Amino acid sequence: MPQRNAGPVAIDLFAGAGGLSLGFELAGFSIALALEKASGAAATYRRNHPDAVLVEEDIRDIEPARCLADAGINLDDVDALVCGLPCQGFSESNRRTRNMDNPRNHLYADVLRFVAALRPKCVIVENVAGMRTMAGGAVIHRIVEACERQGYAMATFELNAADFGVPQFRRRLFIVGIRGPALTSPEPTHGTPSNPYVTVRQAIHDLPVLRTGCDVDRLRYRRVSELSSYQKRMRAESSRDQLVSGNWVTKNSPDVLERFRYVGRGQNWEVIPAHLMLNLRNPSLCHTGYYYRLQWDEPSKVVGNFRKNMLIHPSQNRTLSVREAARLQSFPDNYEFLGAKQVRQQQVADAVPPLLAKAVANVVIRGLGQSRLPTSSALARSA
């Protein structure tokens, strides 16, 4: 069984590439077990979280108690169950299957199945803010009601990642339950005159100059006059050889590159001449992040699907590299993404920003320290 650091123990469902796990580890948690069925994301998770037991199966086919027993984990040791539910079905940019007919929107039932079986001290469910409005917030209500019936005090936080040191405006919803006094939302650390938001420049301007289609994984950092504190933090464990990985860029067609040339910083598809956008049936349905060129001196727009968002580099005529997107998500440079280029891109886009996850984990740790809880098995006997 892998050796784990001391500290409160968490299990990560729908772990993806590991953004939630990393944030909870940064706050002091030990990740004992993670579930992720996608092979590419699972490979990335395994590379970066070697001490966690990783189960690469569909959660719908897993019996919780058996899963813990196979991993050598005691029920009494589970402090937190964290879960980043697949978000595509809840996203407001999803106009086709954003409804309760989407089977992926019912995976929350498996989370509740794990909660009932494991009875952790705390439950954290993360998703896009659009979960509030999809079907009138039905999924949120079901999660909250089911957990309350099992003795959890519930709270919901809608947080903006930029408020917690992530160089990106990204709203996420956290549904948090604990066996003790309900938790309060974490206090923002950034976005004030004394501690402003981290900008795109402060996040990525030291990364290599690249061309469209670049597929050279490791390149030298760009020489800059001074590194920001954020860049120093991201490079802390990986800058000894002055090489950075993840310099993978989508190879765009000449037509797409021609469109890029019309887009200035802070502008999007709306400034591209109509005769260059004839490939779209109805351009008016495009969202604001489509063909958006980032601005140097403010946080990024949402890092999403690379082909649907098409975020453009502030000064280079191309889309973002995997490493640039990872920086904007607050993944450190020593965090490696594995798989084909598009698989790596999607892993980054789907991830929870680790620094945002850390802010929530800090609140959870304080709550666990104050709750003086009986063990989960004792709770089960009294139920």
Catalytic residues: 87
Reduced DSSP (H G I as helix, E B as strand, rest coil) percent helix, strand, coil of the chain, to 5: 40, 15, 50
Q: How far apart are CA 267 and CA 319, in angstroms?
A: 14
Gyration radius (Cα) of the chain, Å: 21
- Which pair of structure tokens corresponds to residue 41? 């994301």
Residues 253 and 221 sit within 8 Å (Cβ to Cβ): no
Residues in the chain: 383
Residues 119 and 93 sit within 8 Å (Cβ to Cβ): no
- Side chain identity at 251, as an amino acid letter? K
Distance set, CA 155 to CA 83, 160, 300 (Å): 15, 16, 28
Closest C-alpha among 90, 252, 9, 135 to residue 1: 9
Using DSSP, state whether 105 is helix, strand or coil: helix
Using DSSP, state whether 216 is helix, strand or coil: coil
Please give the helix or strand (H or E) that residue 22 lies within, else none.
helix 19-26
Closest C-alpha among 104, 339, 350, 125 to residue 217: 339
Count CA atoms closer than 13 A to 106's CA, side-chain side: 5
What is the DSSP track for 318-333?
SB--HHHHHHHHT--T
Distance set, CA 59 to CA 49, 192, 336, 349 (Å): 19, 41, 25, 22
Residue 16's region, left for phi above 0, alpha for psi from -120 to 50, else beta, is left
Tell me whether residue 195 is exposed, middle or buried, using C-beta atoms within 10 angstroms of its C-beta: 0 to 12, 13 to 18, 19 or more: exposed
What is the sign, positive or negative, of the torsion defined by CA atoms of 233, 238, 239, 245? negative
